[in-house]
Amino acid sequence: EPARLEDLALLGGPPLFDRMLYVGRPSMAPDAEVHARIQSALDRRWLTNDGPLVQELERRCGERLQVPHCIAVNNATLGLEVALRALGVQGEVLLPAFTFIGTAHAVQWLGLTPVFGDVCDADHGLDPAEVERRITPATGAILAVHLWGRACAVEALEAIARRHGIPLILDAAHAMGCGHAGRPLGSRGTVEVFSLHATKGLNALEGGLITTGDAALAERIRLMRNFGIPGEDQVRCVGTNAKMNEFSAAVGLANLDHFDDLCVHNQQLHAAYGAALAEAPGLRLMQPEPGQAFSHHYIVLELLPTATLHRDQLVSLLRAENVYARRYFRPGCHQAEPYRSRPGGPPVLPVTERLGQTLLQLPSGLQITPEEAHRLGRRLAWCLRHGDAVATRLPRMA
Ligand code: T4K
């Protein structure tokens, strides 16, 4: 515990950690296991185009997610694009503004029109009441996000989509290892799309998975992933190149062998942060949905109105301590280009705008031990307990 303000690294003390801790630092299987799988691809001289490692990854992830069809792609953004295209979505797509910009860009890139709604305070997912308010005959699909791996309001959103006869696409980029209603996420809505990006809990360097129970849709997705080519000398429809390569699948498979252990480690980190922050005034640590599987990959803090420091002041304090905390997601998509410059200007979305000002994410994964997480939590708690004094020594925040 710092005894004096000057013990904080930003005010001249030594940093809490002797190396930088990052949000998004990849957790990797032992090098030898990664190398062995990559070597197997080299030995086969089969490097991409639906290779054996990609097929193995699809099979194992499909089993794990308890979903009949699991199709690997080269990233989740293209995965969303291929899913939207394979569903023949036209016109407007209703989605939350509080998400990674890639969710919105996938829609815009296809020449569809993203229509932004606000999110629920409780789970940071698309608010069904907002969907009801904004849905029109021009709405071609609903695209909701399981943010931080917590299920969005899937039951309500499925009901709205069914009533309007439109598909529900779920951005499950964060949701590997996470469940809802006693099952893994991945089989809700019409189709779900996971990310296997390096910063994700299960990583394949770059990659994604599209999951669905609809066999005909799965077949269209497989075709579109590979230029619309079903086999030699045939082209059945328009397609793109959304194929995962064998090196990515090799990394994904090696990491999959250790993924359950990683989730346990992350749960221990979450508990250590939670214990240290229990007494911190004005701050809430995001909790999983009770009783459901959770990866704890995202450690998300929310600064409450009673907090003595602004979120950005905490981020500066942490950077000096060698903790690269992040401020996902700001600005909200509605306030990012090209959307903010659309005629009529961006809608006012109070929850999205507040969360963009008050959330921060802390490091997780193998780079940090539970003991270190506890130390970091205690430093944060100390700063908040002495927030009034700390604030007088920091540059003024807007
Ligand atoms: N939907 C949602 C809800 C998403 O969050 C995402 C992606 C997508 C869709 C699209 O999925 P993909 O098409 O990417 O499969 C990062 C990721 O690039 C992005 O995948 C992710 N969401 C997003 C939340 O985070 P940036 O712009 O924040 O990345 P960057 O370069 O600032 O890196 C993040 C942190 O990770 C840094 O602090 C450093 C650390 N890092 C990163 C990489 C790549 C490492 O330590 N090592 C690394 O190799 O977007």
Mean predicted lDDT score pLDDT of the chain: 97
**What pLDDT shows up at residue 249?**
98
316 alpha carbon to ligand 1 midpoint, in Å? Answer: 21
Identity (one letter) of the amino acid at 5? L
Report the CATH architecture of 31-255.
3-Layer(aba) Sandwich (3.40)
195 alpha carbon to ligand 1 midpoint, in Å? Answer: 10
Q: List the CATH code of the domain at 5-27+258-325+363-392.
A: 3.90.1150.10
Peptide bond into 338 cis (omega under 30): yes
**What pLDDT shows up at residue 397?**
60
Would the pLDDT of 236 be above 60?
A: yes
Would the pLDDT of 207 be above 80?
A: yes
Give the integer Cα–Cα distance in Å for 323 and 349. 30
Q: Where are the domains of the chain?
A: 5-27+258-325+363-392, 31-255
* pLDDT > 90: percent of the chain: 97
371 alpha carbon to ligand 1 midpoint, in Å? Answer: 26
**What pLDDT shows up at residue 2?**
82
Would the pLDDT of 398 be above 60?
A: no
Q: Is any ligand 1 atom within 6 A of the Cβ of residue 356?
A: no
Q: Is any ligand 1 atom within 6 A of the Cβ of residue 347?
A: no
Average pLDDT over residues 321-340: 97
Give the integer Cα–Cα distance in Å for 158 and 172. 15
CB-neighbour burial class of residue 103 (10 A; exposed 0-12, middle 13-18, buried 19+): buried
23 alpha carbon to ligand 1 midpoint, in Å? Answer: 9
Give the integer Cα–Cα distance in Å for 150 and 144. 12
Beta bridge partner(s), residue 328: none
Residue minimizing CA distance to atom 20 of ligand 1:
197
pLDDT tens digits, 49-96: 999 999 999 999 999 999 999 999 999 999 999 999 999 999 999 999
Peptide bond into 329 cis (omega under 30): yes
Structure tokens at 350: 């109070």
Q: Is any ligand 1 atom within 6 A of the Cβ of residue 75?
A: yes
| Pocket mutation for ligand 1, best pick of 199, 203, 210, 364 (most atoms within 8 Å of C-beta) | 199
30 alpha carbon to ligand 1 midpoint, in Å? Answer: 22
Q: Is any ligand 1 atom within 6 A of the Cβ of residue 109?
A: no
Peptide bond into 288 cis (omega under 30): no
**What pLDDT shows up at residue 119?**
98
pLDDT tens digits, 354-367: 999 999 999 999 99
* pLDDT > 70: percent of the chain: 99
Would the pLDDT of 347 be above 80?
A: yes
Q: How many residues does the structure list for the chain?
A: 398
Q: Are the folds of 5-27+258-325+363-392 and 31-255 the same? A: no
